[in-house]
Amino acid sequence: MHKIMWNFRQALTITLLCFNVLTSAQSNDKPNIVIILADDLGVDDVSFRGANQFLTPNIDALAYSGVILKNLYTAPMCTPSRSALLTGKYPIHTGMQHYVIPNYQPWGLPLNETTIAQVFKEHGYYTSIIGKWHQGFSRKAYTPTKRGFDQHFGYLGAYVDYYNQTLDATAQNLSLGHDFRDNLAVSREHVGTYVTDLLTDAATELISKHDATEKPLFLFLSELAPHAGNDDTPLQAPPEEVEKFAYIKDVNRRTYAAMVSKLDQSVGAVIDALANKGILNNTILLFLSDNGGPTAGLHATTASNYPFRGQKNSPWEGGIRSSGVIWSPLLENLGTVWKQQIYIGDLLPTLAAAANIQLDTQQMNLDGLNLWSALKYGYDAVEREIVHNIDDIFQYVSYGKGKWKFINGTTDDGIYDGWLSVRQNDNSAELDPRAANYKESIMNTTVWQHLTAINAKAALSGSANITKLRQDAAINCMLGNVTQHTACEPLVGPCLFDIDVDPCEHNNLYESMSDGTVVQELLKRVAYFRESAHAPNNKPLDPKCDPRLYDGEWTWWEDVQDGVDDDHNADGGDSAMNLRLNGLLLTLSFGTLFVINLLKYSCRL
């Protein structure tokens, strides 16, 4: 009997040890991660870069308290940029390199790709995406909660109207369709609420209710702002917000300023929620835009990418630079400007390293680099190679290695290749009244107070250095001493730029260096990447997607047409999984009762 009890006690000890290992692995020693992604925000439309036409005090406070990512690169458009963030791969390696996914095309991020949400979920995180998806939805398998996210609240397609949550495809002989979901279920209860406020409220509610001691939080707040809405009213903001910028003469720019202001308020509210929950001191905060802003042309918003050349959907710096900021108590160099080139695809391995998640980067075939150590300690010695894009449909290449950038070909026949943005002068009447007391405007925000309360050193250095940090974050073209510039005409021949000296891409060095080793090496690398490129996934319009066929909703029409799903049974495909989970829970319940009874029996001996 004693021998039997000893065996039981030994088994119980092992069981309890395993339980302790499991629970400690799920404790909140890992940092919460919050990514706030703006949509089509102009590089110069955050005031920490130096602009004063309208201020972004909450984003600026985050910037000066944290680390400003001066040389953050993205893909030039929404879908490819998001695919790079989600997979850690260049869009050319996932077939996402050409244009975007319109709501009416039946394709998406390939299902064999592992997403950042899957990585973090597998390592104990609760994963949520609030807002825009834009990685395909013609089949339910493409949608967020099938790609590693525990929760999705938002829209599946390219954009929606800011109030009625519709996307209008009548120009394609399709109908107007509603696009907003709570996980997989259609959600119409918030129609009429300004979308930026709606997404902000959802994010802050999640933060307030989530138990980060049980599971750390991975929150991807994928904002609509300041992307344009439907063509009939592309720029939308609450009238009282627009009125704050009445000093701006251009009504479109005035409304755009209000849209960015609501985005800035959203950033502030999320940081307030993290502070109120008491988890800010164990959180990594990241703010960035998915690409440069569209100043003119399709979905134009008056966005400013000053002083860069080009805009969204172009090979130029104005299309692929993002104004990014990261903050965390884990960083050793808060209150600085980091000049290291970093690509949006680097975020997956970098954030994984920050969370002590070991990745097999070779098996995953990642293009992104783990730059966590460089970021944490503030050194910028990594020569980053970045394939900005190789698009053989638009017929252009944009590639960089270190300070060298190679361009051949362009988009839209070059009509948006110029320097499209200007900045208001300091003596202009169209300056934000708060700019006269800029530093005080930043330091009076709750964001500044929350973040500097956690890092008093950053508070001291930041308050003294706001002016210097702002100067360091600005882009200086540095070509004042060059008397002659060689123009780049990418539809005529290749172009080469020294981005360190000429980030505004004025002086084409290709002809003067074409016989040298630099150009030859760049051409070899471009040829190498072209050989390894995945064919574009794009497909033509499918008229069966028309929302009029599905009660006015944009939905996973290929599944509906195939008879494997419908809107009225959105979660039906999970029934078998639910049965398996219920069986597992029942088994665990019997196991728990056995352990409890065994403990009772052991205690009596």
DSSP 268-335: HHHHHHHHHHT-GGGEEEEEEESS----SSTT------TTSS--SSSSSHHHHEEEEEEE-TT-S--S
Residue-wise pLDDT tens digits, 104-114: 999 999 999 99
Q: Region 92-114: what's the mean pLDDT?
A: 98
Average pLDDT rounded to a whole number, residues 281-290: 98
Q: Render pLDDT for 328-339 as a digit per residue (tens, 0 to 9).
A: 999 999 999 999
Cβ atoms of 490 and 505 within 8 Å: the answer is no
Q: Estimate to the nearest angstrom the gap between the alpha carbon of 593 and the chain centroid.
A: 45
At residue 8, what are phi and psi to the nearest 5 degrees? -65, -40
User: For a pLDDT cut of 70, what percent of the chain falls above it?
Assistant: 87
The pLDDT of residue 427 is 84
Q: How far is CA 323 from CA 46, 57, 87, 88, 381, in A?
A: 7, 14, 21, 19, 21
Return d(Cα 125, Cα 183) in angstroms, integer.
18
- What is the pLDDT at residue 457? 66
**Pairing mode, strands 166-168 and 336-343:** unpaired
pLDDT for 153: 98
The residue-averaged pLDDT of 580-587 equals: 36
Contacts with 537 (C-beta within 8 Å, 6 or more apart), sequence order: 94, 95, 96, 107, 108, 110
Give the up-direction half-sphere exposure of residue 392: CA atoms within 13 A in the CB hemisphere.
12
Q: What is the dihedral of CA 510, 512, 517, 521, to 10 degrees?
A: 0
Burial classification of residue 81, based on how many CB atoms lie within 10 Å of its CB (0-12 exposed, 13-18 middle, 19 or more buried): buried
Q: How many CB atoms lie within 10 A of CB 544?
A: 14
Torsion of CA 70, 358, 24, 22, to 10 degrees: 140
Task: Establish whether 134 is a catalytic residue.
Answer: yes
Q: How far is CA 589 from the centre of its chain?
A: 40
Per-residue confidence (pLDDT) for residue 461, from 0 to 100: 61
d(CA 326, CA 312): 23
CA-closest candidate to residue 317, choices 398, 394, 379: 398
Distance of CA 392 to the CA centre of its chain: 25
Identify the pLDDT of residue 484: 76
pLDDT at 14 over 70: no
Contact present, 59 and 43 (Cβ < 8 Å): no
Q: What is the pLDDT of residue 381?
A: 85
Q: Which of 300-314, 397-411, 437-451, 456-470 has the lowest mean pLDDT?
A: 456-470
| 8-state DSSP, 374 | H
Q: Which one is predicted more confidently, 485 or 142?
A: 142
Evaluate whether 147 touches 135 at the Cβ level (below 8 Å). yes
pTM above threshold 0.85: yes
Burial category of 403 from C-beta neighbours within 10 Å (exposed 0-12, middle 13-18, buried 19 and up):
middle
What is d(CA 211, CA 129) in angstroms, rounded to the nearest whole number? 17
Tell me the per-residue pLDDT of 141-170, one tens digit each, with 9 for 90 and over.
999 999 999 999 999 999 999 999 999 999
Catalytically annotated residue among 98, 123, 134, 388: 134
Structure confidence at residue 566 as a pLDDT band (50, 70, 90): low
Tokens of 335: 């209150």
The one-letter amino acid code at 474 reads A
Which residues, including other chains, have CB under 8 Å from residue 331's CB and lie 6 or more apart? 66, 67, 375, 376, 378
Angle, in degrees to the nearest 10, between helices 456-473 and 446-454: 120
Ranking 203-217, 432-446, 559-573 by mean pLDDT, the lowest is 559-573
Q: Among positive and negative, which fits the CA dihedral 549, 553, 554, 559?
A: negative
pLDDT tens per residue, range 34-83: 999 999 999 999 999 999 999 999 999 999 999 999 999 999 999 999 99
pLDDT in tens, 307-361: 999 999 999 999 999 999 999 999 999 999 999 999 999 999 999 999 999 998 8
Q: How far apart are CA 96 and CA 203, in angstroms?
A: 28
Q: Are 508 and 496 in contact (CB under 8 A)?
A: yes
For residue 238, what are the CA distances in angstroms to 59, 187, 200, 205? 20, 22, 15, 22
Q: Is the pLDDT at 194 greater than 70, yes or no?
A: yes
Instruction: Give the pLDDT confidence score for residue 526 in this predicted structure.
Output: 98
How far is residue 163's CA from residue 236's CA, in Å, rounded to a whole number?
9
pLDDT at 4 over 50: no
The one catalytic residue among 78, 488, 495, 545: 78
User: Quick check: 25 and 124 in contact, CB under 8 A?
Assistant: yes
Q: What is the pLDDT of residue 460?
A: 63
pLDDT digits (tens, 9 = 90+) for 134-144: 999 999 999 99
Residue of higher predicted confidence among 480 and 289: 289
